[in-house]
Amino acid sequence: MNAESVTETAAARYSVAGDEFLFVELSESMTLEAFFRSISITGRLRERALPGVLEICPANASYQVRIDPQQISVSQLQAELEDIDAEVSSQSVQRLTTRVVEVPVLYNDPWTHETLMRFRDRHQDPSGTDLEYAARINGYADVEAFIDAHSGSPWFVSMVGFVAGLPFMYQMVPRERQIQVPKYLRPRTDTPKQTVGYGGCFSCIYSVRGAGGYQMFGVTPMPIYDPTGNMPHIDDSMIYFRPGDIVKHRPITREEYDTLQAAAEAGEFKPRTAEFVFDLDDFTADPDSVANRVKEVLNEH
């Protein structure tokens, strides 16, 4: 994945976190511009391969770098980052070469339904389901229309974290059309593995079973975290998604879910992917055209 450049004028805020970390905040709110700036700076830092830089973690509108202070000081690292930031901000092309990943989703599945009903006392609307609540507060006529909206637009993977392999995804539509759903009033102690969840303006996929507070819309049979090394589509990092990936959800039936789940359990799941060049200026001018192009490149493969 290569980010060619970004234009951004807000000043970065550098914060030292212990002896080994430097946290850099680029914006107080999540925007595609801030995300592009983060992915561009961290990509160029990685290319410089500085001695002592151990780990680089881009996030929604920020990033963090881990160092070995015996090899590089925080002040030296900050000087490098300020140089890269100036370099990135001085260029006008805003383009990212990445991949589109199709994620099959069984919406309204029996496993998340059983779980959400078990924790209904922690929800804003104990009388309904998470999908019904999300559809209603976002002005959709019914659950089917809401699923059409969730699966109809592409999503940027803006960061991976919280637990190993969990992708946070930002909807690629104009801000006024973004789905917004609050998290549960109190977190659950259980969430099925590979649940497609939603909190604030972010969709996610829970990589493992565990606690959670995001609304639950469905499950995917696609493995996204593999500590066993048995999934050929996941490399030695054990994590499938990378910041900058573009995700397209595809609703599937229970029958197709069972087929894909069997393939996953046999270590034979093959994600549908395609290379894609995303241009932020093109998206800003005509987001629907870019969304349609995302669908087209998947159909071409």
On the question of pLDDT at 243 being above 80, the answer is yes
pLDDT of residue 246: 96
pTM above 0.85, yes or no: yes
Q: What is the mean pLDDT of residues 233-247?
A: 94
Residue 4 in domain? no
Are 177 and 85 within one domain?
no
- Token pair recorded at residue 261: 């789940």
Number of helical H runs and strand E runs in the chain: 8, 13
Say if residue 189 is in the same domain as residue 109: yes
What's the number of domains the chain is made of? 2
Same domain, 181 and 49: no
- The pLDDT score that the predictor gives to residue 8 is 44
Structural domain boundaries, residue 215: 97-300
Within a domain: 3 = no
The CATH number given to whatever domain includes residue 124 is: 2.40.100.10
Whether residue 1 lies inside any domain: the answer is: no
Percent of the chain topping pLDDT 70: 96
Q: Are 274 and 245 in contact (CB under 8 A)?
A: no
Domain match, 289 and 197 both: yes
17/151 same-domain check: no
Mean pLDDT over the full length of the chain: 92
Q: In terms of domains, do 222 and 239 share one? A: yes
Could you tell me if 77 and 223 lie in one domain? no
Lowest mean pLDDT among 1-5, 52-56, 93-97: 1-5
63 and 107 share one domain: no
In a domain, 186, yes or no: yes
Question: Residue-wise over 249-278: b if at least 16 C-beta within 10 A, else e?
Answer: bebbeeeebeebbeebeeeebeeebbebeb
pLDDT in tens, 279-301: 888 988 999 999 899 989 988 86
Q: Say if residue 34 is in the same domain as residue 136.
A: no
Amino acid 5: pLDDT: 44
Residue 185 domain-assigned (yes or no)? yes
In this structure, what CATH number is given to the domain that contains residue 46? 3.30.1360.40
Instruction: Give the torsion through C-alpha atoms of 180, 185, 187, 190, to 10 deg.
Output: -80
| pLDDT grade for 91, boundaries at 50, 70 and 90 | confident
Q: Which of 218, 236, 217, 216 is nearest to 226 (CA)?
A: 236
30 has pLDDT over 60? yes
Range 117-131 average pLDDT: 96
CA nearest 243: which of 105, 98, 102, 104?
Answer: 98
Domain boundary among 93, 125, 141: 93
Residues 51 and 173 in one domain: no
- State yes or no: pLDDT of 94 exceeds 90: no
Question: Is 81 found in the same domain as 157?
Answer: no
**Domain assignment of residue 251, yes or no:** yes
Residue 36 has pLDDT above 60, yes or no: yes
Interatomic CA distance for residues 282 and 196, integer angstroms = 29
Give the pLDDT score at 9.
55
Whether residue 36 lies inside any domain: the answer is: yes
Q: 93 pLDDT exceeds 80?
A: no
Q: What is the mean pLDDT of residues 261-272?
A: 96
Residue found by looking up tokens 């959800």 in the block: 249
Region 157-162: mean pLDDT is 90
